[in-house]
A and B are shown apart, each in its own frame.
Chain A
Amino acid sequence: MSEIKGEILIKGGFVIDPAQNIDGDIADIAIKDGKIVERVSNAAKVIDAKGKVVMAGGVDVHSHVAGPKVNVGRLIRPEDKLFKSGVAHAPTRMEMGFSVPSVLKTGYDYARMGYGFVMEAAMPPIHAPHVHEEIHDTPIIDEAALPVFGNNWFVMEYIQKGEIENTAAYIAWLLRATKGYGIKIVNPGGTAAWAWGMNCLDLEDKVPYFDVTPHQILTGLMQANEYLGLPHSIHVHQNDLGNPGNYPVTLASLKLAEGVKTKNKFGREQVMHSTHLQFHSYGGDSWATFCSKAKEVMDYVNKQKNITIDLGCVTLDETTTMTADGPFEHHLHALNHLKWANVDVEMETAAGVVPYIYSKDVVPNAIQWATGLELALYSKDPMRTFITTDHPNAGPFTRYPRVIKWLMNKKSREAVLASMKKSDKVIDATTIHTIDRELNLYEIAAMTRTGPAKCLGLSSYYGSLKPGMIADVAVYDLNYKDMPSDPEKIESAFLRAAAFVKSGEIVVRDGEVLSHGHKKTVWVNPKMKENPQVKRDVTESFTKGYYTVGLTNYPVREYLAPHPFVIDVDVEA
C-alpha cells in the first residue's frame, strides 16, 4: 500500500473536539503523512476554514453497508435505483441506489458527509468473505464488521453449560477467522428459534432444542466479552424489536449490565451497547394504543453509566429493512405485504429483508419518528448516545444531516409534526412537542464522532483532532458564532462537507469527491492460548458435515482484506 505523504493545514476554523473539551475555539489543524500533528511547514496545502466548523471525521457505530443481506436488499429492489441514483462524472464511478446504495455510492456519500469510519453492523460468519469483498470495493471510508454471535450453536451450547472460557475461546477463533471486530447479538435465541419458524420475545423464553434463554445468552456473551477484553462491548439488538409494549423487555435487557465491570485497554467504559433503541422503546398493547416510552427508557440509560446506545431514528422515507432478526422481517411482511426475502444461515444466524415505507401520515410511523428524536433529546450524556438510523432500517444514512437538523432546531421538528395528517394523535402518544431542547454542535460532535469512537475502543485513532490521531478531518460550512436561522442550511452543511480530509488526503471539496482515498479494513485479533476443546468442537462440526463448506475454506483469506488495520488484544487468562 502506498503511504500517504504530504502536509495539510486546515486554517482558522471553529474547532470542535469533545475529546479535548474544545468547543468552537479558532485554531489550525495540522496534518502530516496521514496523521494529525502539532505543526507543519510552510509547504503545507492550506484549506481555509475561516467561518467554518472543523471536526474529526465522523464515526458510524452501526450501519448495514456490506454483506449478504445488504446485497439482497440491492438485488430484490430495482425500484430503489429508478430515478433515485446519482449521476456519475469523473473521477467518480456510477453510484446507484437510494436506501441501499451500491458500495461506490456508500463510500462517496459517507465521505461527502465527512465520515471516515463505518461499522458494518451484522456479519454472518460463513458469509464473511462476501462482507470483505464488499468492504474492499467500497472507496474511501475505513470499515469493520461485527460477526453475529447471539444465535450461534457453539455459543448457545457453551453458555448452556456455563462455559464462559470456551465461549471466549470460540469468539476469539471466529473473530480471527472472519476478520471481525466484536460481538454482535441480534434477537438472542429468537433467530435460532426462527429456523423452526418460532421466536423468543421475552428474555426467559427457551430457545428450542438448545435449552438456553436470551437472558443467559446476553449475560454469557457479556462475560465472555470482558474475559477477552475486546475493544468494543457486546453490541445488542434486543428481543421483541418493533412491537407495541416492548419497552419492559428493553429495560430488562439493559439491566443485565448492572454491576458488570469493564475490563479493557482501549478506553471503553460500557459493557453493553444497545443499538437502534428507538425500535425498542414502545408502549401500548396494540398499534391503536402504540406510544413512545423514550422518556422511561432514557431515564434508565442516563443513570446506568456502563451502557451506551444509538438511536435508530426513523427518517420518514421509503427504505429497505434488513436484519438478522429473521422472525421480525416475516412479521413485518405480514403487516405491509411487500416482498419478503429471508436467508437462514446454517449453525449461525438468519436474516430477512422487507421494503418499508415510513409515512408521516401513518400514526405508528410518525410516533416512531418522534421516539427516535426524543431519545436523543432526553439524553444527559451525548458521549453515550449516538446518532444512527440503523441504516437502512429506519432510514438511509444520508439522512443523518436531517436528523441533526431536527435535533438542533425545534422549529424544524414542529414543522414536520404540524404537517402530519393526524398530528393530534401523534402528540397524544409522544412528548416531542413538549421538548424545547436544541442540541449544540459540541453535543452533535460527541454523538457522531467522539462518543462512537470511544464506545468502539477506537479513541486512540478516530473521533478526535489530537496530535497522533488518524487525520480524518471534516470542515462544515456553518458559522459557530452565527448559526443559520434557516434549519435547512444545517442539513445541507452536514450533507456536503466543505472539505473532508481522510487519512491525510483531501478526498472531498465543496461536497464533491476528488479521490478514491486509501481505505482500510479494521479487525480485532484476540491472542489467546489455543483451547483444545473448542478446536475439537469446531473441527467436528465441519467433519460431521453440519457445515456444508470445508474448514480450510472457511477463514477469510488475507488478500480479501488488502489494507488491514489489525488491533491485537492480548488475552490475560
Chain B
Amino acid sequence: MPKLITQVGCPYCGSSCDDIEVIVSDDNKKILEVHNACIIGTNLFMHANDPTRPKLPRMRQADGSMKEIAYPEAIDFMAKTMLAAKKPLIYGFGSTNCEGMAAVARIAEKSGAVLDNCATICHGPSFLAMFDNGYPSCTLGEAKNRADVVVFWGCNPMHAHPRHTSRYSIFPRGYFTSKGQMQRTILSVDPRQTDTAKLADIHLMLDQGHDYELFDAFRTVLKGYDIPDVVAGIKKETIVKAVDIMKKARFCMIFFGMGCTHTDGRNHNIDAAISLTRDLNNYTKCSIMAMRGHYNIAGPGQVWSWIFGFPYCIDLSKGTHAHMNPGETSSVDLAMRDEVDCFVNIGADAGAHFPIQAVQHLKKHPFITVDPNFNMASEIADLHIPVRIAGVDEPGVVYRMDNVPIQFKAVIDGLPGVPSDEELFDMVYERMCELTNTQPVWIAAKEDRKHPANISAVNEA
C-alpha cells in the first residue's frame, strides 16, 4: 500500500513550506506523488527517484575520466587533502541540514579552513548591513497575521519563492487579515515588470542599480522633506504616494532580495532599507526580511554564529581563533586572489553559480564536491562524494528565511550505503584526528547521533 506522509518540509526555497504531502511506495523507496508543492519542489522530490543517482564516490583518473571508489577511500582522500592544504576553502550549504553544518565546522576547524556558504554570493551584503545597522524583523506568521502593506523590493517571489505569496505575504487570510489579498496593499520596486510586480497595486519601475537613491528618497519624504521631481526614474508623486501608504499602514512588511544585494551599492542598499524600516517604526509598526534563497541557507548563519560567532566568510586558518572579513575572507575574492589551495563544494554548485573566472582559479587546486546529485561542480571535481538528500531521505533541522527552525522529515529510505552529510563529515573528522594523532571533540551530541547504524554499515562497505 502506498503511504501518505503529511506536513513534509520542502527542501527548495527559503519559504521552507512544511505543508507538503507526499505519497511513497510501500517499501519506502520511491516517491509516487507530491501534493501542495510548487513545480520546483515537485521536481526536486521526483528527481530523488532518479535511478542514475550516484551511490558511490567517484575519483578523477589521470585520463580525465571518473572512477567509482569505496567510501573509506574517499574519506581518506578528503581528510588527507584538506590537512595537506595550507588554506582549504569549504563552500556551499544551500541544501544541507543543520546537523551537517555543525559537523562540517569540526572539519573546518581541524584543517584550518575558510568556511563559507551561499550567502557569500547572495545575501552576504545583507549580513554586512546587519553588522552596521541591525535587523528589525519578525517571523512570517506576523506578516501573514498582521501586514496590511507589503513591499517587495528587488525580489520576485513569484519566480524565486513560488508559494511565498500564497502562504505568507499577499493572498493568505491571517488572524487580523481575514480578508486576505483584499486587505493588503502591495508595492513592488523592480526594474522589470516581473510577475510579482504585476500583482502589485503600485509598481515602482526604478532605473536598475539606483536602489540606494530611491531608499534615500523614501526616507527623505518620510521625514517631511522635499525631493527632486524624479528620483531613480520614479516620479516624485509616486514616491510620495508610496511613502504615504507605508506610513499609514497598520503593519508594514518589507521583503528584499537579490535585486538589492547583487547590484551596485550592495550592503549600502540594505543599510538604507533597514534605516527606512527603523524610521517607519516611529510612525507605525514596520518589519523587514531578507528573501533568503534556499530552504536552509539561514541555517549556516545560525549554526556557525553559535559555534564561531560569525555567519559566513569564517577564516579558521589561524588555528587559535576565527576571523571574518568579507571581501578578504569571502569565497569569490579568495578564489580570484588564488589564496586557497583546496576547494570543497558541499550541497551547492559553485561550478554553475560562481562567475566562471572564479571557478577557473579554484580548479588549479584539488577540488572536492559533496552532493547527492550530479552537477557542474561534481563534473569538474577530482572527487565527488554523494550523500543523502536532506529533507527527502534524511531528516533534520532547517532554518526558514525568518530564522524559524523547522524539523524536516525524511520521506523515503536513503540509498543503501550512502551516508548523510553529518555522518560523512564525522567520518572525515575521525580520520583527520587519526592522521594528526589527536582526540576528537564530540561534546555531547555525538554519542546519540541519529543513525549510528548507518555509520557502521558505511564503514564496512
* A41 contacts the other chain (CB 8 A): no
Check A547/B141 contact, CB under 8 A, given A75-B301, A519-B444, A559-B450: yes
Name which of B68-76, B78-86, B125-133, B333-341 contacts chain A. B125-133
A104–B307 touching, CB < 8 Å: yes
Per-residue CB contact flags for chain B residues 1-33 toward chain A (1 = under 8 Å, else 0) read 000001101000000001100000000000000
CB distance from B110 to the nearest CB of A (A): 9
Interface centre among A86, A101, A130 (most CB of B within 10 A): A130
Check A549/B404 contact, CB under 8 A, given A136-B443, A344-B139, A560-B397: yes
CB-CB nearest in chain A for B307 = A102
In A65-91, the 8 Å CB interface with B consists of 66, 68, 70-72, 74-78, 80-81, 85-91
B144–A71 touching, CB < 8 Å: no
A470 vs B302: C-alpha distance when bound (angstroms): 33
A80 vs B146: C-alpha distance when bound (angstroms): 35
In B423-455, the 8 Å CB interface with A consists of 438-439, 441-445, 447-448, 450
A330 vs B136: C-alpha distance when bound (angstroms): 9
A130 vs B320: C-alpha distance when bound (angstroms): 27
What is the total number of residues of chain A having a CB less than 8 Å from a CB of chain B?
Answer: 80
A545–B320 touching, CB < 8 Å: no
Which one of A100, A342, A345 lies within 8 Å of B136 (CB-CB)? A342
CB distance from A177 to the nearest CB of B (A): 12
A8 vs B216: C-alpha distance when bound (angstroms): 66
CB-CB nearest in chain B for A98 = B309
CB-CB nearest in chain B for A136 = B445
CB distance from A152 to the nearest CB of B (A): 13
B310–A78 touching, CB < 8 Å: yes
Residues of chain A lying within 8 A (CB to CB) of residue B284: 197
CB distance from A250 to the nearest CB of B (A): 27
A347–B316 touching, CB < 8 Å: no
A556 vs B405: C-alpha distance when bound (angstroms): 10
Per-residue CB contact flags for chain A residues 326-340 toward chain B (1 = under 8 Å, else 0) read 000010010000111
A559–B448 touching, CB < 8 Å: yes
A330–B281 touching, CB < 8 Å: yes
* A126 contacts the other chain (CB 8 A): yes
CB-CB nearest in chain B for A338 = B134
Residues of chain A lying within 8 A (CB to CB) of residue B303: 133
Which one of B139, B144, B316, B407 lies within 8 Å of A557 (CB-CB)? B407
In A500-525, the 8 Å CB interface with B consists of 516, 518-519
* A93 contacts the other chain (CB 8 A): yes
B130–A75 touching, CB < 8 Å: yes
* A202 contacts the other chain (CB 8 A): no
* B138 contacts the other chain (CB 8 A): yes
A78–B131 touching, CB < 8 Å: yes
* A434 contacts the other chain (CB 8 A): no
In B86-120, the 8 Å CB interface with A consists of 98, 102, 109
Check A2/B447 contact, CB under 8 A, given A78-B324, A94-B322: yes
A77 vs B308: C-alpha distance when bound (angstroms): 12
A137 vs B255: C-alpha distance when bound (angstroms): 32
Check A94/B316 contact, CB under 8 A, given A102-B309, A516-B442, A548-B167: yes
* A260 contacts the other chain (CB 8 A): no
In A86-140, the 8 Å CB interface with B consists of 86-97, 100-104, 107, 126-127, 129-130, 133-134, 136-139
* B278 contacts the other chain (CB 8 A): yes
CB distance from A49 to the nearest CB of B (A): 28
A516–B443 touching, CB < 8 Å: yes
In B317-347, the 8 Å CB interface with A consists of 319-322, 324
CB distance from B103 to the nearest CB of A (A): 11
* A467 contacts the other chain (CB 8 A): no
CB distance from A548 to the nearest CB of B (A): 4
Check A341/B130 contact, CB under 8 A, given A136-B443, A516-B442: yes
CB-CB nearest in chain A for B286 = A197
Residues of chain B lying within 8 A (CB to CB) of residue A76: 130-131, 134-135
A75–B311 touching, CB < 8 Å: yes
A339 vs B277: C-alpha distance when bound (angstroms): 12
Residues of chain A lying within 8 A (CB to CB) of residue B384: none
In A134-173, the 8 Å CB interface with B consists of 134, 136-139
A88 vs B323: C-alpha distance when bound (angstroms): 13
Residues of chain B lying within 8 A (CB to CB) of residue A86: 321
B397–A133 touching, CB < 8 Å: yes
* B175 contacts the other chain (CB 8 A): yes
Residues of chain A lying within 8 A (CB to CB) of residue B320: 87-89, 94
Check A196/B445 contact, CB under 8 A, given A96-B309, A130-B405, A343-B139: no
A443 vs B172: C-alpha distance when bound (angstroms): 57
B443–A91 touching, CB < 8 Å: no
Which one of A88, A550, A560 lies within 8 Å of B18 (CB-CB)? A550
* B145 contacts the other chain (CB 8 A): yes
Residues of chain B lying within 8 A (CB to CB) of residue A550: 6-7, 18-19
A354 vs B134: C-alpha distance when bound (angstroms): 8
Check A546/B308 contact, CB under 8 A, given A1-B447, A96-B322, A340-B278: no
Residues of chain A lying within 8 A (CB to CB) of residue B308: 94, 96, 102
* B194 contacts the other chain (CB 8 A): no
B137–A81 touching, CB < 8 Å: no
* B218 contacts the other chain (CB 8 A): no
Residues of chain B lying within 8 A (CB to CB) of residue A72: 135
A77 vs B135: C-alpha distance when bound (angstroms): 12
* A563 contacts the other chain (CB 8 A): yes
* B363 contacts the other chain (CB 8 A): no
* B306 contacts the other chain (CB 8 A): yes
Check A340/B285 contact, CB under 8 A, given A548-B168, A562-B448: no
Check A546/B321 contact, CB under 8 A, given A129-B397, A129-B405: no
CB distance from A453 to the nearest CB of B (A): 22
B319–A88 touching, CB < 8 Å: yes
* B392 contacts the other chain (CB 8 A): no
CB distance from B102 to the nearest CB of A (A): 6
CB distance from A200 to the nearest CB of B (A): 16
In A534-573, the 8 Å CB interface with B consists of 545-553, 556-557, 559-560, 562-563
B102–A137 touching, CB < 8 Å: yes
* A195 contacts the other chain (CB 8 A): yes
A546–B250 touching, CB < 8 Å: no
In B131-185, the 8 Å CB interface with A consists of 131-142, 144-146, 167-168, 172-176
* A367 contacts the other chain (CB 8 A): no
* B406 contacts the other chain (CB 8 A): yes
Interface centre among B7, B139, B306, B443 (most CB of A within 10 A): B306
Residues of chain B lying within 8 A (CB to CB) of residue A341: 130, 134-137
* B367 contacts the other chain (CB 8 A): no
Check A339/B133 contact, CB under 8 A, given A133-B405, A139-B443, A557-B407: yes
Interchain Cβ contacts under 8 Å between A and B, 12 examples: A1-B447, A71-B302, A75-B311, A81-B309, A94-B109, A94-B322, A127-B405, A129-B397, A129-B405, A195-B142, A342-B135, A562-B447
Q: Which 3 pairs, one residue from A and one from B, show the smallest C-beta to C-beta distance?
A: A346-B141, A339-B134, A550-B7
Additional pairs, 4, CB under 8 Å, beyond known A75-B302, A547-B141, A548-B141: A88-B319, A102-B308, A550-B19, A560-B407
